[in-house]
Amino acid sequence: MSSATPTGDLQPILISTPLAEAELYTYGAHITQWTPRGQRPVLYLSPRSLFTPGKAIRGGVPIIFPWFGPRSDGRTGPAHGFARTMEWKTDGPQTRDDGKIEITLTLAPSEATRALLDIDFHSSFRVTIGSELEMELQTHNAGKQPFTYEEALHTYLAVGDIHQVSISGLDATTYLDKTDDCKRKTQLQEPISFTQETDRMYLNTTATSTVDDPAWNRRIIVEKSGSNTTVVWNPWMEKTAAMSDMAPDGWKQMVCVETTNAAENAITLGPGVSHKLTAKIRVE
């Protein structure tokens, strides 16, 4: 299934317009559903996802910040950073003249974030909901020292059958294969298809990715800016079986195409400097 009913203590913001329906949480600034009017859901949300403070929501668009994957600086910390399990502030949705709904959420340093990483950041996440889904993550260095961070919009896309899915747009791109000791490889053949666990970090690319989903007779296009890394991920059968918040067959119904800056594409911000990461998703 590509939707779930909250089972914990978190309350969603529900949006319904002539253009689309959507659901998001101030917890993690997390979009969990987006469905253009008259279409199938575009985001995958695990039916077993937890909606409990301290636990990441499985599916939708988790925000990854300030590190990607396991922390690599020798200190302890949650996988994929702290942004996806923090409460963000918002003034609520606003309706634009074009009928789209816009909502901006913000995250600033707190005692909890400083205990993990003592940086003077200010993050804002602007979501625009319409027949397209537009996301903008901006990070500002409000301090007097530079800092380096990684980030991602860890987008789970709903598909009819992963065995039939293919992804184009990353031809001739170098990637780190995380299923093979992070060996550096080159995408020599397109489109990308799926026959086993896939976890690839495509580096130094600003390309648009297109997900072809014959089972549901559609293509999902992911455009981006301010991003030099694209991550493509499907956990396949064995890894999914070890994930308590995923249904056993969940891997067949999703693929992640993540708008990212990580590894050698990590961002370094000087004092007073901001960086903006954007992703736009549409369906054809």
Kindly report, residue by residue over 253-275, the tens digit of the pLDDT.
999 999 999 999 999 999 999 99
75: CB partners within 8 A, 6+ apart? 116
Weakest-pLDDT range from 9-13, 89-93, 106-110, 191-195:
9-13
- Residue 216 CB-density burial (10 A; 0-12 exposed, 13-18 middle, 19+ buried): middle
pLDDT of residue 8: 62
CA angle 65, 71, 73 (to 5 degrees): 115
Nearest to 141 by CA among 116, 119, 110, 112: 119
Q: Is 150 a catalytic residue?
A: no
Q: Is 154 a catalytic residue?
A: yes
Q: Which of 23, 136, 154, 223 is catalytic?
A: 154
Nearest to 2 by CA among 31, 62, 45, 38: 45
Tell me if 32 sits within 8 A of 47, measured CB to CB.
no
Token output for 67 = 């590190």
Kindly report, residue by residue over 163-177, the tens digit of the pLDDT.
999 999 999 999 999
C-alpha 18/C-alpha 30 separation (Å) is 22
Tell me if 274 sits within 8 A of 138, measured CB to CB.
yes
Q: Which of 258, 264, 275, 284 is catalytic?
A: 258
C-alpha 1/C-alpha 115 separation (Å) is 37
Kindly report, residue by residue over 168-222, the tens digit of the pLDDT.
999 999 999 999 999 999 999 889 999 999 999 999 999 999 999 999 999 999 9
C-alpha 194/C-alpha 165 separation (Å) is 7
C-alpha 282/C-alpha 221 separation (Å) is 5
| pTM, two decimal places | 0.95
Res. 146: pLDDT tops 50: yes
